[in-house]
Amino acid sequence: MPYSEPNSATLTPTAIFGGMFNPPHFGHLHPLQDALNLLSLNKLALMPCHIPPHKVTPEVSTEHRLAMLALLCAEDRRFCIEDIEIRSNKTSYTVETLKQLKKRTQSPLWLFMGTDSFNSLRSWHQWQSLIQLCNIFVLKRGREALLHFPEISEYMDCSAKKPLNEAQLLSLHTQTGKVVALETKLLNVSSTQIRNEIRTRNESEAKISEALLPESVLNYIHKHHLYES
Ligand code: ATP
């Protein structure tokens, strides 16, 4: 068979979901599982941030965050860890990360995030350059409606009842700057809530709900006395 250059229409997208994961929880995992199912993707990389531009640097070590994230990944083999930001000593600007990823792959970059993150996009470093490097897939979070920015060329909706059509899928493989609102599970959980519950809980109270995060992650938190003070 003659050799033909791979083109982005046939390459599996590089799917990335960034976060602090301090700690990781089901609000990360379950909506992403829905997203993978909706898009028929079988791989997504969870990318922990090293020095966040928008949040305070976590009091828990990078090693602990990585270990907890590995436990979350063990829940579903479609997930893996992308450590590009964690290995760097610089502030984690997504636009710079995407440029580095672009050097290593020809496949389209698909960036996943929750509605709150997407709605704050205009405050992100060089956000207009960022959207030229990837397409953005938004997971439902809270009651916030998705903002529509005039600078973004195309918004699409994707749900089990309204899957993307062939033309939309092709454009997501071959073009950038598009946003897809995904109809994913709504889970009212945040890392802040989990940290606060652990900090304020006393011995007589019930354990932190295992509905919020995997038991393995919760056991790890207790074993290493994380978030207790
Ligand atoms: P914190 O409470 O410390 O701010 P967080 O729970 O928001 O943390 P992050 O790791 O900072 O978690 O978030 C990473 C990404 O996960 C963001 O894009 C965020 O919008 C998304 N995300 C977090 N929790 C949920 C959730 N419950 N539903 C949908 N998306 C979520």
Average pLDDT over residues 45-61: 81
Higher confidence at residue 147 or residue 4? Answer: 147
Q: What is the whole-number distance in angstroms between the Cα of residue 118 and the centre of ligand 1?
A: 11
Looking at residue 55, what is its pLDDT?
63
Structure-token pair, residue 160: 């089990």
Looking at residue 183, what is its pLDDT?
97
Q: What is the whole-number distance in angstroms between the Cα of residue 9 and the centre of ligand 1?
A: 30
Looking at residue 170, what is its pLDDT?
95
- Rounded to whole angstroms, how far apart are CA atoms 101 and 87? 14
- Rounded to whole angstroms, how far apart are CA atoms 194 and 210? 11
CB atoms within 10 A of CB 182: 20
- Rounded to whole angstroms, how far apart are CA atoms 43 and 22? 22
Ligand 1 pocket (Cβ < 6 Å) reads 19-22, 27-28, 31, 113-114, 116-117, 139, 141, 187, 189-192
Question: Which is the closest atom of ligand 1 to the Cα of 27?
Answer: 27
pTM, rounded to two decimals: 0.94
- Rounded to whole angstroms, how far apart are CA atoms 138 and 108? 17
Q: In what order do the strands lie in the sheet with 178-182?
A: 79-81, 44-48, 14-19, 109-114, 135-139, 178-182, 154-158
**∠ Cα 201 56 216 (to 5°):** 45
Q: Domains (ranges, CATH) in the chain?
A: 12-188 (3.40.50.620)
Which residue is associated with the tokens 């580095």? 100
Looking at residue 57, what is its pLDDT?
65
Average pLDDT value for the chain = 92
Looking at residue 6, what is its pLDDT?
58
Confidence grade of residue 205 (pLDDT, cut at 50, 70, 90): low
With contact defined as beta carbons under 8 Å apart, do 213 and 194 qualify? yes
Per-residue pLDDT of 184-196, as tens digits, reads 999 999 999 999 9
With contact defined as beta carbons under 8 Å apart, do 171 and 127 qualify? no
